[in-house]
Structure 1
């Protein structure tokens, strides 16, 4: 089914070929209005770094449970989330399912303890927690995050071209992108497991952009706009990219936030290292001008990363996702 998901080749763009950005913009627009996912190749990320990040995820989850619990998931959505620690609610499709059968650890931009946002207690701008007994883990996670941020920044002007905006339209909104690296472990699920038992239940992402390294262990599937579920192919040397509810709201529902799900009946342990990238913390996301017309007026109020993610976290992570004020926010 790889012919169903468009493939964007960054080679001409990175080599400075004239017109490459606008051509890619047209391809991305088709991807997000017809499928909601695209592959990107010739992206400049070393394959060895991707392999190292997968290995780091496996190392982390191989630790004793008590070592992982020493990094508890906090109100900033950083740290370790135990098995079945969250339920897809705000972003669920096909109804709310059972708690997700995975465990995960989350990292954001590395901020020092004396950073002004840390000292001010700004939510989602906390200090990362790192495992105490995994030499080299922190360095690998940070190097991979930096590579993903670089790739995401390369992709953002293509979104501007796709939306008939000046190529630099998003620049001031991505001065310091918010991002999350999630390292997930999906244990083997028994073939006899209930049909509504998911490693990750059908859902739409929250993000502006999710960059997913290709996985040698199958399990990911996505729902096309016509309602068909297809297994996502793994194209060697590519990343799979999709948008989420933030992107959909920002584009006044022009771009798709395509539902997807994960189940692991491969007979192997499965790891995933999705990278979620969003605009800067204080950027205001009002419906993009080229997505608003007299026939299609603005459907959403302007919002910020903090507002959106506080609502999402309270809905999906329960007690662990309480807001800084201690009040759990309800999902949509």
Structure 2
């Protein structure tokens, strides 16, 4: 099935070859108008760091439950969400499903306690919670998040090229991207489990960009625009990238937000480390000018990250994400 998902090779871009960015833009345009996912290779991200992040996820979830519950999921979309702790609703496909058969921990940019946004109590700008007894875990998580942010920012000009915009068109909107690193554990599901039992129910992400390191344990499937579900292949040395509802809204529905799902009937424990990247907190997103035409007039008024995430908040995480500040949600 790998031939159904385009592969973007960053090597010519990293070498500075003339025309490389525009050629990648053409490939990305096809990816997001025909499939909604693409692979990217030759990213410069060390494979050792990827494997260290997978190992860190396994270490975290191997802790006693009480140690994980000491980091409760909160209104900033940070912390630990227990097994079957959420139900896919707001961005679900084909209606509400049963609670998802996974557990996950979420981290955002590691702001210091004295940061003005922390002191002001800005929603989605809270302090990360870290495990008390996992030496080296925080360092690996932050190193991996930094590598993914760097990769995401390298990819953003390709999106501009794909949309017929100046290559730097998105730069001021991604000066300090909002992001979430989610470390997920999918326990083995019994082969006899009901058909509507999902590790992660069919859904579309909320993000501008989701970067997923390749997993040696299968389980991810995507739904192509023609309605077919295909199992996503795991290509060594690649990352799988997709867009979510933020990208779809920003591009005035020109780009896809393709549904996907996870079922772990592999007979093994499965871990995933998706990285969700969005625009800067205060960036204003109006429909991309090249995506507004007489046949496709602007569908949305300008919006910010806070407004967008608030609209999607609450439905999937329920009371676990509620506080005086509200509820957070990040596509998974």
Report the TM-score when normalising by structure 1: 0.97
Matched residue of 2:201: which SS? strand
Structure 2: runs of 5 or more not aligned? none
Cα distance in structure 1, aligned partners of 2:324 and 2:228: 40
Deviation of 1:323 (Å) = 5.8
Cα distance in structure 2, aligned partners of 1:217 and 1:79: 25
1:92-241 aligned within 5 A: 92-241=92-241
1:201–1:64 Cα change, 3 Å: same
Q: 2:37–2:241: 8 Å Cα contact kept in structure 1?
A: yes
Deviation of 1:310 (Å) = 1.9
Cα distance in structure 2, aligned partners of 1:148 and 1:49: 11
Deviation of 1:83 (Å) = 0.5
Deviation of 1:316 (Å) = 1.1
Q: 2:210–2:241: 8 Å Cα contact kept in structure 1?
A: yes
Does residue 68 of the first structure (1) align with residue 63 of the second (2)? no
Cα distance in structure 2, aligned partners of 1:160 and 1:325: 34
Moved more, 184-193 or 303-312: 303-312
RMSD: 1.2
1:327–1:48 Cα change, 3 Å: closer
Moved more, 250-259 or 306-315: 306-315
Task: Render the CA deviation track for 1:112-131: whole Å, top value 9, x for unaligned.
Answer: 00000000000000010000
Q: 2:188–2:269: 8 Å Cα contact kept in structure 1?
A: yes
Q: 2:41–2:239: 8 Å Cα contact kept in structure 1?
A: yes
Q: 1:123–1:324: 8 Å Cα contact kept in structure 2?
A: no
Cα distance in structure 2, aligned partners of 1:326 and 1:245: 20
Q: 1:223–1:230: 8 Å Cα contact kept in structure 2?
A: yes
Task: Render the CA deviation track for 1:204-261: whole Å, top value 9, x for unaligned.
Answer: 0000000000000000000000000000000000000000000000000000000000
Q: 1:178–1:280: 8 Å Cα contact kept in structure 2?
A: yes
Matched residue of 1:142: which SS? helix
Q: How many residues align?
A: 329
Matched residue of 2:3: which SS? coil
1:301–1:289 Cα change, 3 Å: same
Aligned to 1:254: 254
1:42–1:326 Cα change, 3 Å: closer
